Amino acid sequence: MVVGNSGTACPEPTLCVNPVGQNRFPNGDFGSGTAQTGPALPSSETSYGFVNITCAGPDDGLYSIVNQTDCDPATSGNQQVFSTWDVLSEDHTTGDAGGYMMLVNAAFAPDIAFEKTIPNLCPNTRYQFSFYIRNIYPAGPIKPNLTFLVDGVGLFSTGDVTASGWQNVGFTFNTGNNTTATFSVRNNNTGGDGNDWLIDDIFVGICEPSVVVTPGKICIGDENASLTAQITDDLKQYRWYKWQYSTDSGGTWTDLTTGTQGSFPGSGNSFSTSYTMPSPIPSTYTNRIYRIVVATSSPNLDDSSCNAVSGNVVTIGNNTVSSQPSPITECQGDVQVFTASISGNTAGIVYQWQVSNNGTSGWANATGTGNNTLSYTPPSTAIGVKYYRLFVNNATNGCTNLFSNVVTVTIQAPPSAAITGGLTICTGSSTTLTASGGIQFLWSNGSTNASITVSPTVNTTYTVTISNPSCSSSAMASALVEVNTVSGGTISSNQTICVGGDPSILTN
């Protein structure tokens, strides 16, 4: 192992200003386990020798991998290494029970504490190289002092670490055209009384931009909606972007746009871009997820290890009217019911039926049985047409503009039966009777026409039942057709009279 140059490290910006991406340094948190001492590093990755922790070591030039620094856990109380080192019950990494850290007692000469070669870096991209260090013997006169090297060149130095507790130290650098680099940390001070330290959470990762997409949600039915991304990058390297959506909760992504190069203003470090949604957003977009991908070059947009993505924007409208209400035509006083079905997560949903005189404006909350349920009985007291819709408000997901189709309620007058026509005829004659007051007719003689022609020989009563298909009630009317009978009879015998004479009265 070669110790890197011992010259003064070049000054570089310390740590990323914006969020950092995926950690490329393998086993940077040293793993975890139930045993106090963890596995040793490969010998090619450190100049130090490995030993288990004891109350007398590791000694100068040696290291241990530990999940606590009590040198004798079986003995009550905190047992200190050399009776001077701090006792820690856990490592720095958040949330890893039994997490390990590297415990180093520095050698007397400068040497490499750890080193690793990392391939598949993104070219022309700024990375952060950092770790957390803790001076475990703060009272020691010799302080930890480390230099960060990339490909054997010292690029940043911590200086003497005098503060107590965990310290995040590191710097940023640009890869240029390189896609592989060797990352090392060199001890600068001598060993002896002090220069004892812990290292954890070694990190090599991209300095990502800040990518904020607004709004945080959109809903089915929204009109004139758009997504706006604000890309902020102090280094002005993330200029390329494209929009994507997913229909399987982020399992796969489909491009909405091609790669486009944005531009940062001359004196600013951010630019914005927007994507316009269909208006209104159709129900087929339910549960879609949207994001914007940014990168330092067009090819890097398709490299998940080199791009950065926004937080997902969800098309929240996970409720749809899966079964629409049907129009109602009924008579005054009848009882018919609107029904609808809602799909998706219905927890927290509030329903309200609404009514309008024209179906486009003047909507008001309807009253009556079930007006705030999925089954609603509209009033049927007034003849005419009213327009109704179901309003769905889901306070849980914040979408408040889901409506059913607009449907009509047509209220008709109930049937009223009447019969017109000649009601007196002579024997052998006929008459036409006409019924009115409804749509459907059923006469007592079996006819279903509005009019019937009859020729009774005796007085006969005709009855008609009148109904409307949309009404539950019917009406009935009757008419008596009377038949007049006349007999010809006989007259007395023939008479012979003279001119100017008068005949006898004829009798029958």
**Count of C-beta atoms within a 10 Å radius of residue 287:** 15
Q: Could you read off the pLDDT of 238-273 as tens digits, one per residue?
A: 999 999 999 998 999 999 999 999 999 988 899 999
Domain ranges of the chain: 43-206, 210-315, 320-412, 418-484
- Cβ-based neighbour number of residue 502 at 10 Å: 7
Write down the CATH number for the domain with range 43-206. 2.60.120.260
CA atoms of 270 and 272, how far apart (whole Å): 7
Class at the top of the CATH hierarchy for domain 320-412? mainly beta
pLDDT at 2: 43
Q: Give every residue of the chain whose pLDDT is below 50, as ranges.
A: 1-5, 7-13
Please work out, in degrees rounded to the nearest 5, the angle formed at the alpha carbon of residue 190 by the alpha carbons of 186 and 194: 105
Determine contact, residues 374/351, Cβ cutoff 8 Å: yes
Superfamily of domain 210-315 in CATH is Immunoglobulins (2.60.40.10)
Q: What is the pLDDT of residue 312?
A: 81
- The 10 Å Cβ neighbour count of residue 342 is 19
Q: Would you tell me how many other CB atoms lie within 10 Å of the CB of residue 449?
A: 12
Rounded distance between C-alpha atoms, residue 15 and residue 9, angstroms: 15
What the block records as the tokens of 190 is 């001598």
Beta carbons within 10 angstroms of residue 18's beta carbon: 20
User: Under a CB-based contact definition with an 8 Å cutoff, are residues 315 and 220 in contact?
Assistant: yes
Give the pLDDT confidence of 164-187 residue by residue, as tens digits: 899 999 999 999 889 999 999 999
Q: Is 43-206's fold the same as 210-315's?
A: no
* Main-chain phi, psi angles of 204, to 5 degrees: -130, 115
What pLDDT, on a 0 to 100 scale, did the predictor assign at position 267? Answer: 87
57, two tokens: 């070591």
pLDDT of 24 reads 93
Residues 40 and 100: beta-carbon distance below 8 Å:
no
Structure tokens at 455: 């020729």
**In this structure, which CATH number among 2.60.40, 3.30.70, 1.10.20, 1.10.150 belongs to the domain 418-484?**
2.60.40
Report how far residue 191's alpha carbon sits from residue 112's, in angstroms, rounded to the nearest whole number: 13
CB 67 within 8 A of CB 73: no
* Run of H or E including 366: none
Q: Is 398 left (phi over 0), alpha (psi -120 to 50) or beta?
A: left
Q: How many CB atoms lie within 10 A of CB 388?
A: 24
pLDDT value, residue 10: 46
Residue 58 has φ and ψ, to the nearest 5°, of -75, 145
CB neighbour list of residue 191: distance below 8 Å, 6 or more residues apart: 60, 61, 105, 106, 107, 108, 142
Q: Residue 280, preceding bond cis, omega within 30 degrees? A: yes
The secondary structure of 424-436, three-state, reads EEECCCCEEEEEE
Residue appearing with tokens 């570089």: 12
269: exposed, middle or buried (C-beta count within 10 Å: 0-12, 13-18, 19+)? middle
The neighbouring-strand residues paired with 228 are: 214, 274
Distance set, CA 278 to CA 32, 233, 317 (Å): 50, 30, 14
Residue 20 burial (CB count, 10 A): 17
